[in-house]
Amino acid sequence: MPLRQSLRIGRYLIGQKLRRREKYPLLLELEPLFACNLKCAGCGKIQQTPDILKRRMPVAQALAAVEECGAPMVSIAGGEPLMHPEIETMVDELVRRKKFVFLCTNALLLPKKIDKFRPSPYLAFTVHIDGLRDRHDASVCKQGVFDAAVAAVREAQRRGFRVTTNTTFFNTDTPQTVIEVLDYLNDDLRVDEMMLSPAYAYEKAPDQEHFLGVAETRELFRKAFAGGRRRRWRLNHSPLFLDFLEGKVDFPCTAWAIPSYSLLGWQRPCYLMADGYAASYRELVETTDWQRYGRGRDPRCANCMAHCGYEPTAVMATMSSLRQSLRALRSA
Ligand code: SF4
Ligand code: SF4
């Protein structure tokens, strides 16, 4: 995380502590549409009914949700956000409010839409890249997508945009495939930061076979991170979350800190599972039985090591320890 962002998030967390708030949002997962121009086998978002797939969230509704919850960071996902006809207005308005925006995209529409955006320290395109050419194209079920995404990343970088990536790992990955893709993104493509996502077995995803269990996830990352690589890679995660992925620490889930707001409302309890929807963030926090969720509590959470459940716990643990705070600042 750039220093400006780390300091701002640090200030926000201290403010929450001083106000003695127990549950507050760190990052909002905003899904202003569910439609996409790809059909990845591991996706659990594009199986909505045709009438929902046609809908687009009005900008005012998205901004009202961001303001009501107050999160300092907003990740705009979907679906493919670049298919939203007013995406640039939504982004401009969020940047104007000094929200750190991650615009998650498969990048296919980026060349056509990039003129509509302006570089800003508050905006990053977060491009979905699951592996090198063959792996990524297999993951998104379409040939040529890796090359298109890489070309779009290079053009965005040439124009001065911050570009980060999000890579989802499955049980078909090995420490070597993790190393290959992260070395490529870090050293060759030179993206600003990289996010890692152990794949979650969405109920609706067509592929139900290739998700990592907890022990597999830990072994995969322990081996991939060895030899000083973890320190060398520009990973967009707190050191404690990376320790968590490696199995060096364990945490409870704090999904209320990365809430998900979509066309259907505030999703309970997180963007991976849908046990109904609340009308506001406040209602979500106050009416969800959070004790029911997390590994060991709900069988659907058994293999989850996703950042939406565990990165906030790691960030809060960082803030409550001087040693961990210094460690996080050193890696900023
Ligand atoms: S690009 Fe993202 S939203 Fe689109 S199908 Fe693939 S995983 Fe789903
Ligand atoms: S462990 Fe937390 S983040 Fe993961 S699926 Fe369960 S509630 Fe969601």
Q: What is the pLDDT confidence band of residue 193, given thresholds at 50, 70 and 90?
A: very high
Nearest CA residue ID for atom 7, ligand 1? 43
Instruction: Return the number of other C-beta atoms located less than 10 Å from residue 203's C-beta.
Output: 12
Nearest CA residue ID for atom 8, ligand 1? 43
Atom of ligand 1 nearest to the CA of 79: 3
Q: What is the pLDDT confidence band of residue 282, given thresholds at 50, 70 and 90?
A: very high
Residue 156 host element (H or E): helix 145-158
Instruction: Compute, in angstroms, the gap from residue 229 CA to the centroid of ligand 2.
Output: 28
With CA atoms as reference, report the closest residue to 204 among 39, 38, 42: 42
What whole-number distance in Å separates Cα of residue 240 and Cα of residue 316?
10
Instruction: Compute, in angstroms, the gap from residue 249 CA to the centroid of ligand 2.
Output: 17
What whole-number distance in Å separates Cα of residue 303 and Cα of residue 216?
10
Instruction: Check if 273 has its Cβ closer than 6 Å to any atom of ligand 2.
Output: yes
Q: How far is CA 14 from CA 24, 87, 122, in A?
A: 12, 32, 21
Q: Terminal CA-to-CA distance of the chain, rounded, Å? A: 6
Residue 198 host element (H or E): strand 193-198
pLDDT > 70: percent of the chain: 95
- pTM value is 0.93
pLDDT digits (tens, 9 = 90+) for 137-168: 999 999 999 999 999 999 999 999 999 999 99
Beta strands in 43-186 (DSSP E): 73-76, 100-105, 123-128, 162-169
Instruction: Compute, in angstroms, the gap from residue 3 CA to the centroid of ligand 1.
Output: 30
Instruction: Check if 43 has its Cβ closer than 6 Å to any atom of ligand 1.
Output: yes
Instruction: Compute, in angstroms, the gap from residue 235 CA to the centroid of ligand 1.
Output: 22
Instruction: Check if 128 has its Cβ closer than 6 Å to any atom of ligand 1.
Output: yes
Nearest CA residue ID for atom 3, ligand 2? 309
pLDDT digits (tens, 9 = 90+) for 54-104: 999 999 999 999 999 999 999 999 899 999 999 999 999 999 999 999 999
Atom of ligand 2 nearest to the CA of 310: 3
Q: Poorest-confidence range of 155-164, 166-175, 316-325?
A: 316-325
Torsion angle defined by CA atoms of residues 86, 88, 90 and 91, in that order, rounded to the nearest 10 degrees: 160
Instruction: Check if 312 has its Cβ closer than 6 Å to any atom of ligand 2.
Output: no
